[in-house]
Amino acid sequence: MSAHKHELGQHPNRIEGRNKPRENITIQRLTPDLAEKYVHFFDVTPHDINRDEMKCYCITWRSDDSYAGAGHWFDTREERRSRAIEYVKSGCIRGYLAYCGDEIIGWCNTNEHCRMGVDYLRGEYPIGQEQSEVKVKPIFCFVIHPDYQRMGVAARLVQRICADAAKEGFDYVEAYVHENFISTIDDFRGPRRLYEKCGFEMTACVNGKAVMRKKLN
Tens of pLDDT, residues 122-151: 777 766 555 567 899 999 999 999 999 989
Band the pLDDT of 52: cuts 50, 70, 90: low
Q: In terms of pLDDT, which residue wins out, 15 or 88?
A: 88
Confidence of residue 17 (pLDDT cuts 50, 70, 90): very low
Burial of 45 (0-12, 13-18, 19+ CB in 10 A): buried
Considering only 11-20, 22-31, 57-66, which range has the smallest mean pLDDT?
11-20
| Torsion, Cα of 62, 65, 68, 73 (10° steps) | 0
Residue 127: per-residue pLDDT: 65
Portion of the chain with pLDDT greater than 90, in percent:
52
**pLDDT, tens only, 160-209:** 999 999 999 999 999 999 989 888 778 888 999 999 999 999 988 888 88
Average pLDDT value for residue range 50-61: 78
Residue 7 confidence (pLDDT) above 80: no
Domain holding 126, by residue range, is: 3-215
Domain count, the chain: 1
- The identity of residue 40, as a single letter, is H
* CATH code at position 141: 3.40.630.30
For 95-107, what is each residue's pLDDT tens digit?
999 999 999 999 9
What pLDDT is stored for residue 172 in this prediction? 94
Q: How confident is the model at residue 71 (pLDDT cuts 50, 70, 90)?
A: low
- Predicted pLDDT of residue 128: 59
Confidence of residue 12 (pLDDT cuts 50, 70, 90): very low
Residue 114's pLDDT is what?
87
Read off the pLDDT band of 69 (50, 70, 90). Answer: low
Determine the straight-line distance between the first and last CA of the chain, rounded to whole angstroms: 48
Residue bearing the bigger pLDDT, 65 or 8: 65
Q: Do 201 and 213 touch, CB atoms closer than 8 A?
A: yes
What separation in angstroms does the CA of 91 have from each of 34, 85, 100, 111, 141?
A: 11, 10, 24, 10, 17
